[in-house]
Homo-oligomer: A and B are copies of this chain.
Amino acid sequence: MSQTVANTEASPLNPHELRRMDAYWRALNYLSVGQIYLLDNPLLKETLKREHTKPRLLGHWGTSPGLNMLCVHLNRVIKRDDLNMIYVIGPGHGGPSLVAHAYLEGTYSERYPSITQDTAGMKKLFKQFSFPGGIPSHVAPETPGSIHEGGELGYALSHAYGAAFDNPDLIVACVVGDGEAETGPLATGWQGNKFLNPARDGAVLPILHLNGYKIANPCFLARIPKDELQKYFEGMGYEPFFVEGHEPASVHQQLAETLDIVTDRIRNIWSDARSNGNLTRPKWPMIVFRTPKGWTCPPEIDGKKCEDYWRSHQVPMGDLDNENHIRILETWMKSYRPEELFDETGKLLPELASLAPEGHRRMSDNPHTNGGLLMRDLHLPDFRDYEVEVSSPGATIAESARCMGGYLRDVMKLNLNSKNFRLFSPDENKSNRWQDVLDVTDRCYMAEIYPEDDHLSPDGRVMEVLSEHQCQGWLEGYLLTGRHGFFSCYEAFIHIIDSMFNQHAKWLKTCNNIPWRTPIASLNYFLSSHVWRQDHNGLSHQDPGFIDHVVNKKAEVIRVYLPPDANCLLSVTEHCLRSRNYVNVVIAGKQPAPQWLTMDQAIKHCTAGLGIWEWASNDMGSEPDVVMACCGDVPTLETLAAVDLLRKHLPELKVRVINVVNLMRLQPHSEHPHGLSDHDFDALFTKDKPVIFAFHGYPWLIHRLTYRRTNHKNLHVRGYKEEGTTTTPFDMVVMNDLDRFHLCEDVIDRLPQLGARAAYFKQKLHEKLIDHKEYIAKHGDDMPEVSGWGWGRNHVPVEGATSTEGDNV
C-alpha cells in the first residue's frame, strides 16, 4: 500500500517540496491503477462496485509506479533548470504511467480534446485504456511524448542515442527495464557512448529500472552483487549512481539528490567539451533505480505475495467478480488519497499542477518527440549532375553503389551545416562503396583514435558499428526526432533487424491515422553486397528474403526498388531522400557492371517504375512471341545477355524486354498504391504469351505479387532458390538457373513452334553450361565471355576492378 511520507531531513527536498512531489506521484499512481481497472466512478465518490470496473482487465501495473516516480523527479529538474529533456521508456508496458503523465501535464487534453481534465475526462481516460476503440495498453504512437513503442524489447538505448545525436542541448532520459537489459540489442546499446560527442550531441541519461522481475522470473541484473553491477557499468564507460529503497520518502530524497548530481555532471561534460575543447570520451552518468516491482500495490492478495514480486507484473487481481477483490482495489486506490490530489471537478490541484514544466518543456509535448515538427528538408544536389555517361546500352562499366556514394557525399556536404544527415552501417560503408563520403566527413568515433586511423573523428557523420541493431535503432531515433539518414547493409544480414523493421513499419502505419503526428523522413535501406555477389563469402551471406519480409507490411508504408544501373539508382536515391513516412528498400550491386540507361532514360524509367526496354526488344508494333522480364541488376544483365543470344541465333523470334525498378508496380492497384491497373499490366505483359521473369530474390515472391493477373499462368520466374557456396559470380547464377543459358532454354521450352533450329541451339546452350562448369573447375574463375552481356557479339570486358581494401567481410 502507498506509504505516507514522513518529514525527513531537509536535503535536498524540503518538507513542502517532498509532500507536493509525493502527492504528484500518488496522483500518477492513482491514474495508472484507474486506467487498468475502472470504467466509471473515477474518483471513487461512490462505493466501488463491480459494474464500475472493466470486464476485461488488460495492462501492466508492475513497472508503472517506478516510471511515475521518475516522471515526477525529471519534471523537477526540467522546471528548475529549464532543461530540454525527453524520455524513452523501455518498459513500454507501462502505458498507464505515460498516459497519466501526459494527462496531468495537460498535453493529453490538447491532443485529444474529449479527454478533459475533470471527472468526465478522467472517466473517459480510464475507459479508453485497453478498451476496444480506445488506446493500446503500451506506450505507443498514440502516447504524446513517445518516440518508442513499448512492445518488443531491446531498443530503448539505441533509440535514445539516435535522438541525442546532433541535438546539443537535449537530454534523453532513457529508462531501461531490467528484463529488457537481458536482450542482446540492449546489452550492446549501452556502448552508444563510444559514439556520442559531447560537443555536438546531447546527452543520454540511462536509468536502469531494477525492479527485479519479468513476467514470471527474476532478472539477473537484480541478482548479481552490487560490485559486479557497478563494474559492469564502469566497464562500459559510465559513472553509475544507485538509488535504492522501498520507503518513498527516502527514495524521493535519494532520487532528487542523484538527479541534481547527474544533471550537473552532464552540464559539466558539455561545457568541458564546448568551452575547453575536451573531446576525450567522458564518463557519462547513469542511474540504477532499484525499487519494488508493483510498488504501493497490496503486498499480498489472497495470501500470495504481490508487491515486490512478479505477480504484480500485469494486473494484480484478475478476477473482480470476487467481491473481496473489489474491496482490495478500492482500499488500494484510496490509499493514494485522491481527495488530496484532485478538486471537486476532478482537476489536479493547482499547487500540484504547478510542479510540471510548461509548454514544450513538458516531456509529453517536447517537439523532438513529434519529429516532423522540427524536420527540415535536406538540401539535395541535382542528381542529374552525377550521370554516368552511357553512349549505348552496355558500353559503360560502372559500380552503381559507388556512383550513389558520390551523390551521398554531396548530400552530406550540402547539409553539414544543418547537422541533420547521417549514414549508418555495420562496418560496411566502404565495402558497400560509399567511401567517397569520407571526403567530406569522417566516421564517428569517441573511443581512442590512433594516428594511423583512417577517417575517424568525434565529428564524423558516418556511423559504423558492427551491430545492425545499433545502426537500425540509432537511425530510427534520429528519424523520429526529425532528421534524415540512410542505412547501408549487406543484403543477407539485414534480416538481423527484421523484427525492428516490423515495429517501425507498424509505428508508421499507426501514425498515419494520428492527425497530430507529423510526417518524418523515410527509413531508407541500401542493400548491397547482395545475394548474387556474395560468391566469395558463400551460402551464409546469400539471402534475398528481406524483400519478402518487407512486403508483408502495410502497402501504404512500404516501397521496394531494384534499380538495374547507376543512373536509375541515382534517381531512386533522390526520390527516397525526398519521401516521408515510408520504409524504402533499395537493392543494387557494388561490382563493376554494364550500364544501360542515360540519365534521361533512367528518370523516365524510374518514374514509370517499370517499362519496355525498346532498344533491347524487337517486337515493335506487334505482339511479342515472348516477354523477357527482369528485376534487379544481375537478372537484368543475364536477361539482356539471353536476349542477345536469342536475337542472334533465332532472329525470327519477337522478344519484348521489360525491366522492373519499382517492385510494387507488379501488385494490383487495389493492393498497393503503386500497383499497375490490370489493363496496363496486360498491355505490357500480354494476355497470353510466355513471360520469362528473371528476379533478384526468391522466385515465388513474383508469383505472390502477380497471381491475380490475366497472364499469370504463363509466367515463369527464375530467382534465388537457396543454392550457393563460395564460387564464381557466374556460377552463382548457374546454380540457380538464372543465367543467360538457362533463360534461353526457358524460352525455347515454352515455344515448341520454334522447331528444330531452336532445339539445336538449346543443345548448344546446354553444352556451353557444361563447358562453363569444366572451365571454372580448372581455372577457378569464370570464362571471360560470361562477364559481359553480349555473348560473342557485344562482349564488354569488365574493367576497373578495384583493390580488395575494405572490400568484403
Q: CA–CA, A237 to B229, complex, Å?
A: 9
A46 at the interface (CB under 8 A from B): no
User: Which of the residues B183, B430, B543, B700 comes within 8 Å of A215, measured between beta carbons?
Assistant: B430
Q: Which of A207-262 contact B (CB under 8 A)?
A: 214-220, 223-224, 228-237
Contact A780 B56, beta carbon cutoff 8 Å? yes
Contact B217 A456, beta carbon cutoff 8 Å? yes
Residue of B nearest to A727 (CB): B132
Q: CA–CA, A336 to B153, complex, Å?
A: 50
A796 at the interface (CB under 8 A from B): no
Interface residues as binary, A761-783 with B (CB distance below 8 Å gives 1, 0 otherwise): 00000000000000011011100
Q: How far apart are A235's CB and chain B's nearest CB, in angstroms?
A: 3
Most buried by B among A443, A498, A548, A808: A498
A510 at the interface (CB under 8 A from B): yes
A7 at the interface (CB under 8 A from B): no
Q: CA–CA, A186 to B185, complex, Å?
A: 9
A5 at the interface (CB under 8 A from B): no
A135 at the interface (CB under 8 A from B): yes
Q: CA–CA, A218 to B452, complex, Å?
A: 11
Q: CA–CA, A470 to B181, complex, Å?
A: 13
Contact A777 B137, beta carbon cutoff 8 Å? no
Most buried by B among A132, A309, A549, A805: A132
A121 proximity list for chain B (CB < 8 A): none
Contact A538 B447, beta carbon cutoff 8 Å? no
Contact B538 A39, beta carbon cutoff 8 Å? no
Contact B237 A235, beta carbon cutoff 8 Å? no
Residue of B nearest to A431 (CB): B215
Contact B191 A188, beta carbon cutoff 8 Å? no
Q: CA–CA, A552 to B187, complex, Å?
A: 30
Contact A726 B137, beta carbon cutoff 8 Å? yes
Interface residues as binary, A453-481 with B (CB distance below 8 Å gives 1, 0 otherwise): 11010000000111111100000000000
A57 at the interface (CB under 8 A from B): yes
Q: How far apart are A566's CB and chain B's nearest CB, in angstroms?
A: 22
Residue of B nearest to A238 (CB): B228
User: Which of the residues B154, B231, B313 comes within 8 Å of A184, measured between beta carbons?
Assistant: B154
A152 at the interface (CB under 8 A from B): yes
A493 proximity list for chain B (CB < 8 A): 152, 499
A726 proximity list for chain B (CB < 8 A): 58, 130-131, 134-138
A237 proximity list for chain B (CB < 8 A): 224, 228
Contact A427 B216, beta carbon cutoff 8 Å? yes
Contact B194 A220, beta carbon cutoff 8 Å? yes
Q: CA–CA, A452 to B234, complex, Å?
A: 31
Q: CA–CA, A698 to B701, complex, Å?
A: 13
A275 at the interface (CB under 8 A from B): no
A448 proximity list for chain B (CB < 8 A): 223-224
A201 at the interface (CB under 8 A from B): no
Contact A552 B541, beta carbon cutoff 8 Å? no
Q: How far apart are A233's CB and chain B's nearest CB, in angstroms?
A: 7
A93 at the interface (CB under 8 A from B): yes
Contact A456 B215, beta carbon cutoff 8 Å? no
User: Which of the residues B188, B456, B728 comes within 8 Å of A132, measured between beta carbons?
Assistant: B728
Q: CA–CA, A234 to B231, complex, Å?
A: 7
A514 at the interface (CB under 8 A from B): no
Interface residues as binary, A162-187 with B (CB distance below 8 Å gives 1, 0 otherwise): 00000000000000000110111111
Contact B509 A722, beta carbon cutoff 8 Å? yes
A536 proximity list for chain B (CB < 8 A): 56, 58, 130, 137
A554 at the interface (CB under 8 A from B): yes
Q: CA–CA, A215 to B435, complex, Å?
A: 13
A10 at the interface (CB under 8 A from B): no
Interface residues as binary, A120-152 with B (CB distance below 8 Å gives 1, 0 otherwise): 000000010011111111101000000001111
Contact B184 A540, beta carbon cutoff 8 Å? no
A318 at the interface (CB under 8 A from B): yes
Q: What 3 pairs between A and B have smallest CB-CB spacing?
A: A151-B540, A232-B235, A184-B184
